[in-house]
Structure 1
Amino acid sequence: MFGNYLIGLREGLEASLVVCILIAYLVKTGNRSRLAPVWTGVALAVALSLAFGALLQFGSSTLTFQAQEILGGTLSVLSVGLVTWMVFWMRRTARHLKSELQGRLDAALALGIGALVITSFFAVGREGLETSLFLWTAVQASGDGVRPLVGALLGLATSVVLGWLFYQGTLRINLAKFFRWTGAMLVLVAAGVLAYGIHDLQEGDLLPGLRSLAFDISGTIAPDSWYGTLLKGVFNFQPDPTVLQVVVWLLYLVPVTTLFLTPERSRPLPRPRRPAAEQQAGR
């Protein structure tokens, strides 16, 4: 439940910040009459995300067991790739998100109402599709359709409240640090989802090694115990993983976490060129 709360909070907060920046900029620039197209784009993005989630859920239920495992494993790997790209992208652009969005909005205002709808639709829709895909894979991994959804809804509700407080100017936090540490936690969650996806592909006979277990500590950490449920719900922990699952988990977690937590190098500013007259005088 905590892992899905984190997903809902982070993805929802990104979308909330985008909406807040768009609305605040329109209001401050005297374009309050253009708010309707922005909200239309947001509503379309939300509807698309819900439809995508429903398609994943009901479409997969008509497949055979092997096809379900292959689909679930493939989408798990895809969702991990999207989440990894997202956390690195937000780490790089968190400080400049406002200016980037305002630039896009200026261009959309010049083009008309349709461009405003498209701008807000794509700005929010990307987050919604990523959330739907990642939550679906998390629900499949946990085998529980209630708690993951409750956690995600609580995270989304929290993000809406935080977004409203940001818009009102009553809440200020360091967004770069917030997205950095929540991103690090999401990388850990994503590693578990990736390992689960590998297991699905093994059960679908797409990858070998289903019977080759790395270890089995089911007697120590029972899957139906409260701590076993907690570890599975947060990190998709499995007490009897295969060798391939452990190898892939390590190959993903170690380098990605290291790269993500390594401070970015600031580029040195270019030295100003001296006028030609000064260069000749200095010789």
Structure 2
Amino acid sequence: MFSNYLIGLREGLEASLVVCILVAYLVKTGRRDALRPIWTGIGIAIALALGFGCVLEYGSQELTFQAQEALGGSLSIVAVGLVTWMVFWMRRTARHLRTELHGKLDAALVMGTGALVATAFLAVGREGLETALFVWASVHAAGDGTPRPLIGVALGLATAVLLGWLFYRGALKINLSKFFTWTGGMLVVVAAGVLAYGVHDLQEADILPGLTSLAFDISGTIPPDSWYGTLLKGVFNFQPDPTVLQATAWLVYLVPTAALFLAPVGFTSGMGKARTPDDDQAPRASEAPQA
């Protein structure tokens, strides 16, 4: 449940910050008339993400067992690729996000209503589709048949919306660079577990070999149905009896990815602009409308 809460919080906060920046900029520049197209684009993006999640969940139920495992394994690997790209992208661009969105919004204001809808849709829609896919892959990997993973996601999204609103009102400031670094690091660990389960699904589908070759089996020490076994599985997608191929995929992904992610980041941007403390903060209170 915690891993899914983390996914909802991380992805939801990215989307909330995008919405916060777009809305605050329009209010600050006196363009409240452009808020309706922005909210329309955001609503379409949310509907698309929910629809995509439903297609993944209910569409896969009509498939045979092998087809379900093949689909689950393939999409798990795709989800790991997307979330890995996302955490590295956000770590690199978080401090420039406000400037980038302002530039896109200025261009959209010149082009008209359709461009505003498209700008909001594209800004939020990518986060929504990534969230739907990674949540589905994570829930599929957990496979406990309970609503707890979805409850975790919902709580994470609710927390993200609350934080986004507090940022917008200027009531809360955190170092977003550090926040995304810590949560990104934890998501890399979660992604490694999702990748291992994806490999197992492909083995179940007879696409990859080695289903019966176990790397180790510590089920006697950490029973899967124990509270701590359930906790480890829910948080890290831990499996006490992985195959050799699963364990190899987990290590080959986690070690270099974590090393690259935790490597020091330069103090200047690619254009040579000096980094300032305000770059790591949420939209400032001065950008929010006065009560």
TM-score of Structure 1 vs Structure 2, range by shorter chain: over 0.9
- Counterpart residue number, 2:238: 237
Residues 33-82 of structure 1 show CA distances to partners (whole Å, capped at 9, x for unaligned) of 11000000000000000000000011100000000000000000000000
| Distance in structure 2 (CA, Å) of the matches to 1:152 and 1:135 | 8
SS at match of 2:242: coil
> Which position in structure 2 is the counterpart of 1:279?
none
Task: State the match for 1:221 in structure 2.
Answer: 222
Q: Give 1:166 deviation, angstroms.
A: 0.2
Distance (whole Å) between structure 2 residues aligned to residue 37 and residue 214 of structure 1 = 54
Tell me, yes or no, if the aligned pair for 1:10 and 1:182 is still in contact at 8 Å.
yes
**Cα distance, 1:141 vs structure 2:** 1.0
| Amino acid in the other structure paired with 2:237 | N
Helix, strand or coil at the partner of 1:106: helix
Map 1:241-280; keep pairs closer than 5 Å. 241-266=242-267
Q: In the alignment, residue 135 of structure 2 is paired with which amino acid?
A: L
- Superposition deviation, residue 142 in structure 1: 1.1
Q: Is the 8 A contact 1:139 1:145 kept in 2?
A: no
Q: What amino acid sits opposite 1:6 in the alignment?
A: L
Q: What is the alpha-carbon distance in structure 2 between the residues aligned to residue 51 and residue 233 of structure 1?
A: 25
AA of the residue aligned to 1:192: G
Q: What are the within-5 Å matches in structure 2 for residues 61-140 of structure 1? A: 61-140=61-140
Partners of 1:39 and 1:15 in 2: CA distance:
13
Q: Residue 5 of structure 2 aligns to a residue in which SS?
A: helix
Q: TM-score, with normalisation over the residues of structure 2?
A: 0.91
1:50 equivalent in structure 2: 50
Partners in 1 of 2:222 and 2:199 — Cα distance? 21
Which of these two proteins has the greater Rg computed from alpha carbons?
1
Where structure 1 has 5 or more consecutive residues not aligned to the other structure, the ranges are 271-283
| One-letter code aligned to 1:12 | G
Equivalent residue number for residue 186 of structure 1: 187
User: Alignment partner of 1:33: what SS?
Assistant: helix
CA shift, 1:265, in A, is 3.2
CA distance in 1, matches of 2:89, 2:142: 28
The amino acid of 2:38's aligned partner reads V
Over the aligned positions, Cα root-mean-square deviation in angstroms equals: 1.2
Q: What SS does the corresponding residue of 1:264 show, helix, strand or coil? A: coil
Q: What displacement does 1:139 show?
A: 1.2
Q: Distance in 1 between matches of 2:271 and 2:221?
A: 56
- 1:88, 1:260 within 8 Å by CA — same for their partners in 2? yes
Distance verdict in 2 for CA 1:203–1:269, change over 3 Å? closer
Separation (CA, whole Å) in 1 of partners of 2:271 and 2:160: 37
CA distance in 1, matches of 2:189, 2:210: 24
Distance, in Å, in 2 between the alignment partners of 1:264 and 1:11 is 22
Residue matched to 1:275: none
Distance 1:47 1:29 in 2: 29
Q: 1:177-234: per-residue Cα shift (whole Å, max 9, x none)? A: 0001100000000000000000000000000000000001111111111101011111
1:187-202 alignment to 2 at 5 Å? 187-202=188-203
Whether the 8 Å contact between 1:56 and 1:136 is mirrored in structure 2 is yes
Give me the whole-angstrom Cα distance separating, in 2, the residues matched to 1:191 and 1:118. Answer: 34
TM-score by length of 1: 0.94
Runs (4+) of structure 1 exceeding 4 A deviation are 266-270
SS in 2 for 1:48: helix
- The answer for the alignment partner of 2:276 in structure 1 is none
Q: How does 1:19-30 map to 2 (within 5 A)?
A: 19-30=19-30
1:36 corresponds to which letter in structure 2? R
SS in 1 for 2:24: helix
1:162 aligns with 2:163: yes
**For this pair of structures, how many residues does the alignment match?**
270
Secondary structure in 2 matching 1:62: coil
